[in-house]
Amino acid sequence: MNTRTIKEAYKEIFKSHDNPSLEKHIEKIIELDAFMPYNSTFFCITNTQNLAFEYISKNLTACLGMDREELKAKGMKYLWSKMHPDDLEVWLEALNELMNFTLNEIPVSERNKMSYTWNYRLKNSKDEYVNVIQNTTPLEFDNNNKPIIGLAHYTVLSNHIEMQVCASAKILNDNNEYETVYFNNFSQKLLSDGISNRERDIIRLLVLNYSSKEIAKRLNITANTVDTHRRNILKKLKVSSTGEIIGMLKNNKILI
């Protein structure tokens, strides 16, 4: 699949009908970036209408060795040219599924509470493919309530880690806790299909060292229900303790 074909497919997924204002969003992001430490994550403001980056944080160069002015000038097409060829079609399928899920399953009034995550491999300035996990939160929508402006965080991981292409969608609930409402492993090898979205949320909170009682409060379920989910998770992942689950996550053997 060449870049032209990718562009056409991407624009079809994110086809939009208006041009929102970005000034305030960009102004606040730039203010924050000046105080952010250098680490393995950089962020951008993405514009799917014109396939552009409205802003790119300074950590881009530390993470990938790329020049952020060049990336901003060349836009998303330039970034796509760096993507591993084996991941391109799977990545587009994942984006299309996330968009369809949002438009068909999430009420318009709830779409500003969504957060999306997916991953792929990208070539850095050393011509090495590294793993990138992208998390995007919509900032603005077009006149058909389709997300078009997003705040995207990119976490760069070692190329020694083997990851499959997955995509997930989470929604912020009334307790200000993200709940998984969609998950799909597009490479069909990573995590058992038997793991439910609720179990993914519990795994994520266990990794953050929350107790069963605290998890129950955040997810509006009972502590006994949490404990039942915990036993089922251990059985499905064929591990004997929460510590082993944390170890699997830290080694990036599973993606939630």
Q: Does residue 160 register a pLDDT over 50?
A: yes
Same domain, 141 and 224: no
Q: Does residue 220 register a pLDDT over 80?
A: yes
Which pLDDT band holds residue 184 (cuts at 50, 70, 90)?
confident
Q: How many domains does the chain have?
A: 2
pLDDT given for residue 210 in this prediction: 87
CATH of the domain at 110: 3.30.450.20
Same domain, 121 and 218: no
Tokens 């497919």 — which residue?
A: 9
Same domain, 174 and 135: yes
Same domain, 145 and 222: no
Same domain, 149 and 135: yes
Same domain, 11 and 109: yes
CA separation for the pair 134, 255 (Å, rounded): 12
Q: Does residue 72 register a pLDDT over 70?
A: yes
Instruction: Give 76-114 pLDDT, tens digit per residue.
Output: 999 999 999 988 888 888 988 998 899 899 998 898 899
Structure tokens at 233: 């998770």
pLDDT given for residue 189 in this prediction: 46
Domain range enclosing 242: 191-256
Same domain, 174 and 198: no
Structure tokens at 36: 């952010």
Contacts of 221 (CB under 8 A, 6+ apart): none
Last residue of some domain: 145, 161, 189?
Answer: 189
Q: Between 189 and 152, where is the model more confident? A: 152
Which pLDDT band holds residue 254 (cuts at 50, 70, 90)?
low
Q: Does residue 168 register a pLDDT over 50?
A: yes
pLDDT given for residue 204 in this prediction: 82
pLDDT given for residue 35 in this prediction: 66
CATH of the domain at 221: 1.10.10.10
Same domain, 70 and 145: yes
Q: Between 181 and 190, where is the model more confident? A: 181
Mean pLDDT of the chain: 83
Q: Does residue 61 register a pLDDT over 70?
A: yes
Same domain, 184 and 200: no
pLDDT given for residue 122 in this prediction: 95
Same domain, 145 and 226: no
Contacts of 5 (CB under 8 A, 6+ apart): none
Instruction: Give 101-150 pLDDT, tens digit per residue.
Output: 998 999 988 988 999 999 999 999 999 999 999 999 988 888 877 888 89
The full 3-state SS of the chain, as one line of letters, equals CCHHHHHHHHHHHCCCCCCCCCHHHHHHHHHHHCCCCCCCEEEEEEECCCCEEEEECCHHHHHHCCCHHHHHHHCHHHHHCCECCCCHHHHHHHHHHHHHHHHHHCCHHHHHHEEEEEEEEEECCCCCEEEEEEEEEEEEECCCCCEEEEEEEEEEECCCCCCCCEEEEEEECCCCCEEEEEEEECCCCCCCCCCCHHHHHHHHHHHCCCCHHHHHHHHCCCHHHHHHHHHHHHHHHCCCCHHHHHHHHHCCCCCC
Same domain, 47 and 130: yes
| Main-chain phi, psi angles of 53, to 5 degrees | -105, 115
Query: pTM above 0.85?
Result: no
Specify burial of residue 232 (Cβ count, 10 A radius: 0-12, 13-18, 19+).
Answer: middle
| Radius of gyration, alpha carbons of the chain | 19
Least confident window among 69-78, 139-148, 211-220: 139-148
Same domain, 200 and 181: no
Find the angle CA(149)-CA(106)-CA(148) to the nearest 5 degrees: 10
Last residue of some domain: 137, 163, 189?
Answer: 189
